Structure 1
Amino acid sequence: MLGQQFVTAAAIAASVLFILSLGGLSNQEKAKRAVWYGIVGMGLAVFSVMLGPNIGNYWLMIPLMIVGAVVGTMVAKRVEMTQMPQLVAALHSFVGLAAVFVGWNAEMERARVLALKAAGESLDGLSAFAATLAYKTPAELTFLQVEVVLGVFIGAVTFTGSVIAFGKLAGKIDGKPKKYPGGHALNAGAAILSLVLAIAYLNGAGFWTLLLIALLAFFIGWHLILGIGGADMPVVVSMLNSYSGWAAAAIGFTLSNDLLIVTGALVGSSGAILSYIMCKAMNRNFVSVILGGFGGTQGPAQEIEGEQVSIDAGGVSSALNDADSVIIVPGYGMAVAQAQNAVSELVRKLRSAGKEVRFGIHPVAGRLPGHMNVLLAEAKVPYDIVLEMDEINDDFASTDVVIIIGSNDIVNPAAQEDPNSPIAGMPVLKVWESKQVFVCKRGQGTGYSGIENPLFFKENTRMFYGDARASIDSLIPLID
């Protein structure tokens, strides 16, 4: 009894800490403390379950926890901020696969208990989970089966979807959308067949139905994310975060773990809300994105006139020295080059020279929501000069110089000018309205989504080719 009381109290405390953590992450100044709330809450959750009633096999559990902690520490130390999006996707896949295994195990235990009871054999020696099943009513066991089906299906979709998202974010899989003949019909057919198998399972068809449901869901997750283009990948990461939360909640119901239910619901609902907000910011239809409906071409793209004109550090620094107002637009290229500290130093020199310097941040800049904000905060850039798209978009027309560092799709005028563009209708930073635009870019290739950018060919745009950090470093000594 004492053990259960401890687990209940710890679950409430951990839930409160998780809620405080989520709430604090909405503010940059409170985010560090909010992360610690989450860390303490997770530590409390792990140890409360470990020390709870009917828990054993510590000889196996503790070594596995140590191995997991060591691996997690090593990965965390090696992962750069540029790799954070794919790391998040990879971690989502673990949650999904865990849900599948828990669901399978729960069904095997349920079938075992029913077989023992039917044969009139002793129920001694059962696992703690199986022992609880022995006292459930037929209605409660049916409800458990529903939980198992949902956990296996959602978990399997999350697993393969996250693996594909990881591959696209890491550049191991082409970021362009790819669908096999049949497209959405294949996904719909697999979902309908999964529903038929779920009904058969609930009517006693056996474990094989869960195996087939998992295989079909693996296909849906794989094909679904494969068909979503790079322009929508930040939404995909958030969406998979939501899926992993609901998978965790399903595990919680199966295991009768209140903390998993609460935590999963928090992650699932917050991920869904974030996905919706991001879709709204990108002028996307939420349902269409999660069904793989965006990311492909809508028709022949408009022809681009002009040519890309390059400029050297001397030309850029001269324009900066003459400017009164400067807006910097960072993107994934800044993260790849680890140029945030060089950018911070450039900003310091420009502000010391009396220039007005601000940052324009698109809601989906980088490959993870908030990616650029974290990098700039790490480089000690003042919070008050880092502005969101809605706050700064009307100011470009009165700005002397815009410096774009590794951004592409979020500054692409085709979103507003070309109805056939894959990103047509997506709100973008209207950098082309400024007097001069300088683009720090490695080469003349397209962005992550593979879409050509007419901005690079405009008369007031100059291409500042090279590694972003080296390019910015070359500007700093030239600022008067």
Structure 2
Amino acid sequence: MNNLLQFIYLITAFILIVGLRQMSSPKTAKHGITIAGVGMLGAIIITFFSPQIHGFSNYAIMIIAIALGTFIGWYSGNKVQMISMPQMIALYNGMGGGAAGAIAVIELLNHHELTFAMSTLSILGAIIGTISFSGSIIAFAKLQDLMKRVVILPKHQAINMILLVSSLVLGALLLFMPKATFLMIPFFALLLLLGITFTIPIGGANMPIVISLFNAMTGLAVGFNGFALHNYALIIAGTVVGASGTLLTQLMAKAMNKSVSSILFSPLSATTQQVEEDNGGSLKPIEQSDAAVMMAYSKKVIIVPGYGMAVAQAQHKIWELAQQLEQKGVTVKFAIHPVAGRMPGHMNVLLAEAGVPYDKLFDLEEINAEFSNTDTVLVIGANDVVNPSAKTHPESPIYGMPILDVNHAQNILVIKRGQGKGFSGVENSLFTLDNTRMLYGDGQEVVNKLVQSVKGL
């Protein structure tokens, strides 16, 4: 019976991998999510037939947990708007890490059933999963603006190191003294605290990378628990998530021209003096009607979206504006920076939701060379990813990060709610260039006025 269950687990894991593979393309992502969901549903159903599970109380607990999880997932999935999806992902990822930590607790309490190797894997799963849990909660709080973006304690890295070493010592004691279960309380308490102190000094601009890292950690924790439980589905799913999350973390760090270690262990100081590029310019506002004329009589317009577009929920109006411009013979493209928004692919998802064709979305490498022969660039809600200081000012905290070369365009229009700084707190020298004009106001309202103005031309 057990061999049959493991074989079915293998099938469900294969279905999950097929679903994940289809998620790699926007055209098949929706279908891939459905396939992956079917695979996970199959794994849940087959678990009821496991010989290790017996007794009415166990089945009742499982049914109640599934019912609660299904309701919460369905309700939040329908209630949460697309703008809050990064926070939701951070929170759900944290739940995965917490689940891995909880599984490790049960395994360690049943130490008499574990070999030394299985106990070691359980300890590793507990360490990684618990840190991912509390760290992801902090990431959620930051993205939701529930806490200060950067909190740096005195001797912060030393505190992290003390917490890590202390946790490892307690983990080793639990490994060699399995009956000392009273050590589990300080063990998990230190890990939860480490996840918090590890995350609070990291700035908002780096938060997508941190979320990706925690996702990889959760996958590894699940994989370790899978080895300890001899569950092929957990082993395969955890390994796939851990590997893909690690690769994504590295790719995102590369997109910012940074190493993962520099992002995690050399965060921006809360008192870092920001560098402003002195180009002798000033912020120059423009009326919506004049901006509409500028775009309508351009040969090519490139639209650069950022998190501000998500906040204003202006993606539908942006696509309407693009369609109006195309009707007047203007070539319109969308430039997507790899770390625009609060998570990988955030802008792609929002624009796809609005109906923007995939062939109009271009990443940094594909479109950067086109800015120099573009008549007008419209920047909506983007800030740090178009800041020329990343290339011109070595003292700038974002120096070295690849940017969209918006400043090379003939004309630049920037839609912005106010004159504040970006999420990383760095002044943007793009806004004071001679060829830049500012459109102040709510993104959706401003774009709607641009649409009406273009229609009237």
Paired residues of 1:249 and 1:261 also in contact (CA < 8 A):
yes
Match of 1:439 among 414, 427, 445: 414
Give, in whole Å, the separation in 1 of the partners of 2:368 and 2:382: 16
Paired residue secondary structure (1:29): coil
Match of 2:160 in 1: 187
- Pairing 1:426–2:401 present: yes
Q: In the TM superposition, what are the counterparts of 1:32-51 in structure 2 within 5 Å?
A: 32-51=30-49
Match of 1:460 in 2: 435
Match of 1:15 among 13, 16, 36: 13
Give, in whole Å, the separation in 1 of the partners of 2:371 and 2:449: 25
Match of 2:212 in 1: 238
Q: In the TM superposition, what are the counterparts of 1:5-404 in structure 2 within 5 Å?
A: 5-56=3-54, 57-110=58-111, 113=112, 133=113, 141-175=115-149, 177-204=150-177, 206-291=180-265, 293=267, 301-304=275-278, 305-404=280-379
What is the CA distance between 1:423 and its match in structure 2? Answer: 1.0
What is the CA distance between 1:149 and its match in structure 2? Answer: 1.2
The structure that has the greater radius of gyration is 1
> TM-score, normalised to structure 2's length?
0.94
Structure 1 residues 296 and 26: CA distance shift in structure 2, 3 A: farther
Paired residue secondary structure (1:28): coil
Deviation string for 1:203-252 (max 9, x for gaps)? 21622333323222222211111111111111111111111111211222
Deviation string for 1:345-386 (max 9, x for gaps)? 111111111111100000011101001111111111111111
Paired residues of 2:97 and 2:221 also in contact (CA < 8 A):
yes
Give, in whole Å, the separation in 1 of the partners of 2:414 and 2:240: 40
Match of 1:476 in 2: 451
Q: How many residues align?
A: 450
What is the CA distance between 1:295 and its match in structure 2? Answer: 6.9
Paired residue secondary structure (2:289): helix
What is the CA distance between 1:100 and its match in structure 2? Answer: 2.1
What is the CA distance between 1:303 and its match in structure 2? Answer: 4.8
Give, in whole Å, the separation in 2 of the partners of 1:295 and 1:7: 52
Give, in whole Å, the separation in 2 of the partners of 1:293 and 1:309: 33
Give, in whole Å, the separation in 2 of the partners of 1:167 and 1:443: 24
Structure 1 residues 343 and 295: CA distance shift in structure 2, 3 A: farther
Give, in whole Å, the separation in 2 of the partners of 1:290 and 1:273: 16
Structure 1 residues 297 and 455: CA distance shift in structure 2, 3 A: farther
Corresponding letter in the other structure for 2:89: V
Match of 1:124 in 2: none
Give, in whole Å, the separation in 2 of the partners of 1:60 and 1:215: 26
Paired residues of 2:203 and 2:268 also in contact (CA < 8 A):
yes
What is the CA distance between 1:84 and its match in structure 2? Answer: 0.5
What is the CA distance between 1:182 and its match in structure 2? Answer: 1.0
What is the CA distance between 1:475 and its match in structure 2? Answer: 1.1
Corresponding letter in the other structure for 1:350: L
Match of 1:117 in 2: none
Corresponding letter in the other structure for 1:441: K
Match of 1:118 in 2: none
Report the identity percentage: 38
Corresponding letter in the other structure for 2:212: S
What is the CA distance between 1:50 and its match in structure 2? Answer: 2.3
What is the CA distance between 1:410 and its match in structure 2? Answer: 0.7
Give, in whole Å, the separation in 1 of the partners of 2:443 and 2:275: 29
Compute the RMSD of aligned alpha carbons: 1.7
| 5+ long unaligned stretches in structure 1 | 114-132, 134-139
Deviation string for 1:141-180 (max 9, x for gaps)? 21122112111111121111101100111111122x3221
What is the CA distance between 1:392 and its match in structure 2? Answer: 0.3
Corresponding letter in the other structure for 2:167: S
Match of 1:409 in 2: 384
Match of 1:136 in 2: none
What is the CA distance between 1:468 and its match in structure 2? Answer: 1.0
Give, in whole Å, the separation in 2 of the partners of 1:16 and 1:292: 39
What is the CA distance between 1:292 and its match in structure 2? Answer: 5.1
Corresponding letter in the other structure for 1:263: A
Paired residues of 2:174 and 2:181 also in contact (CA < 8 A):
yes
Corresponding letter in the other structure for 1:69: T
What is the CA distance between 1:96 and its match in structure 2? Answer: 1.7
What is the CA distance between 1:330 and its match in structure 2? Answer: 0.6
Q: Which of 154-163 and 31-40 deviates more?
A: 31-40
Paired residue secondary structure (1:185): helix
Corresponding letter in the other structure for 1:228: I
Corresponding letter in the other structure for 1:236: V
Give, in whole Å, the separation in 2 of the partners of 1:316 and 1:371: 27
Structure 1 residues 189 and 60: CA distance shift in structure 2, 3 A: closer
| 5+ long unaligned stretches in structure 2 | none
